[in-house]
Amino acid sequence: MQVRTRFAPSPTGYMHIGNLRSGLYAYLFARKAGGRFLLRIEDTDQDRLVEGATELIYHTLKDVGMDWDEGPDIGGEYGPYVQSQRKALYLPYAGQLIQSGHAYRCFCTKEELEQRRGEAAARGETFKYDKHCLHLSQQEIDQKLACGLPYVVRQNVPEAGVTSFTDLIFGTITVPNHDLDDAVLIKADGMPTYNFANVVDDHLMAISHVMRGMEYLASTPKYNLLYEAFGWEIPQYIHMTPIMRDAQHKLSKRDGDASYADFIDKGYLKEAILNYIALLGWNPGDERERFTLSELCQAFDVKGMSKSPAIFDPAKLTWLNAQYIRDLTPAQFTAHAAPYYKTAGIESMDVDVLCRILQPRVEIFSQIPDMVGFLAALDGTYDIELFTNKKSKTDAVVSRDVLIKVIPLLKTLPDWSETALHDALMDMAQAQGIKNGTLLWPVRIALAGRLVTPGGAIEIACLLGREEALRRLALGVEKLREAN
């Protein structure tokens, strides 16, 4: 049997992290087995569709390297791969179920159903459709159809007995049939519900392994009853535990939790995101934390999937992202950092120096503007107290005297390079008989106007250039004089 898995997202917004993980696991499972990975767009819920969401699904999967073997954009022998384009396929199968007694037409109005739902709530019961329309005579059904009354098609779930299924993670699960509701299979507009379309499509597309979130565990017995009603082979089930925001709350697109695009916009690397979500609910069985996509394809095993929910830890993702950033070549780092340099207004500065001082410190690229914003504009209101540092043995007076001596030296410096700046300042410190830190601390504070900087005085002076560096040093002297 050829392994065939599918990823079937709904185009209702951004690609949520949990949704991307579902697709990733289906992809890894298929690739590990040498099988095929399908992309299917499930757009039966027309009211929730978001314009451009389908294209975003394509973009996200391609961006992380998850290529599919069959899908809406590339076709395949089991197409079409968009459910709304398959609408005509579902009605005959629904008719087949009606003929065999496994489904029936339901003419109950929304108002009638709401009334019964309210009555059940008043009794303290969970509402369950009472099979009212199952008991209509054929004559009554024909009359309602002749009058053009709208109807849905409901599954006729047995009232007695049990339904069992086996999941590769959770084992065999048995549910009493009387706990199951007669779910709607075809809506009044003729569109199938997810409950029906996914069964028909998975069969027609020869899906061997259905991998989805465990929120569908409760519905799986109803799916199995449909497979049995048609006499179709039931696929293998692999239900994934949810990704939690914390111990009580699932990550949720509806609650505004971050999507893949959100993390990309924040400056996370796609490789780090994919690596991290692969480990949310799966353990490779060793201590490895870093995987490329091809390595994940080789290492992935259903036996390593967890039965417990995974907690999404932004700090751990950020740590992992930092490791990926450290491994970038200078050219790669600069390419990723370039938009953030532009945001900070420093795109014209020496990228080699910027890379050297930022790459060891940046955890996510969106940190760059805050880290280097002082290079584009000096905050003229900085605190004079910053010039005082016990370790460097500086205070306002010492700092003023140092800057007064440094400025004429740098004005005459023939070569404004890191090497020349370093040699000149170190020679001055030695000639003055002071520690390097005593000289460099006030220079850095005057140049940056802040306590914490990603680089030292020499790198900052080099990036600013002669004119701006000297202007800032002179401003430092002026402020120190005003303070004394």
* Residue 8 identity (one-letter amino acid): A
Residue recorded with tokens 């799966």: 282
Which among 188, 214, 235 has a CA at the least distance from the CA of 21? Answer: 214
User: Which tokens in the block code for residue 197?
Assistant: 């379309």
What is the Cα–Cα distance from 89 to 419, expressed in whole angstroms?
74
Pairing of strands 243-244, 310-311: parallel
Q: Assign residue 6 a region: left if phi > 0, alpha if psi is -120 to 50, beta otherwise?
A: beta
What is the Cα–Cα distance from 426 to 443, expressed in whole angstroms?
12
Pairing of strands 103-106, 152-155: antiparallel
Angle CA 466–468–470, to nearest 5: 65
What is the Cα–Cα distance from 282 to 302, expressed in whole angstroms?
8
CB proximity list for 216: less than 8 A, separation 6 or greater = 239
Name the phi and psi angles at 398, rounded to 5: -60, -45
* 405 flagged as catalytic: no
The answer to whether the CB of 200 falls within 8 A of the CB of 91 is: no
Selected catalytic residue, list 32, 187, 253, 316:
253
User: Which tokens in the block code for residue 55?
Assistant: 């294209």
Q: Other C-beta atoms within 10 Å of 108: how many?
A: 16
Sign for the CA dihedral angle at 211, 239, 19, 286 comes to negative
User: Which tokens in the block code for residue 292?
Assistant: 């490329």
User: Which tokens in the block code for residue 15?
Assistant: 């690609």
Q: Other C-beta atoms within 10 Å of 233: how many?
A: 10
Burial 312-321 (b: 16+ CB within 10 A, else e): beeeebbebb
Chain centroid to Cα 471, Å, comes to: 45
Catalytic residues, by residue number, are 253
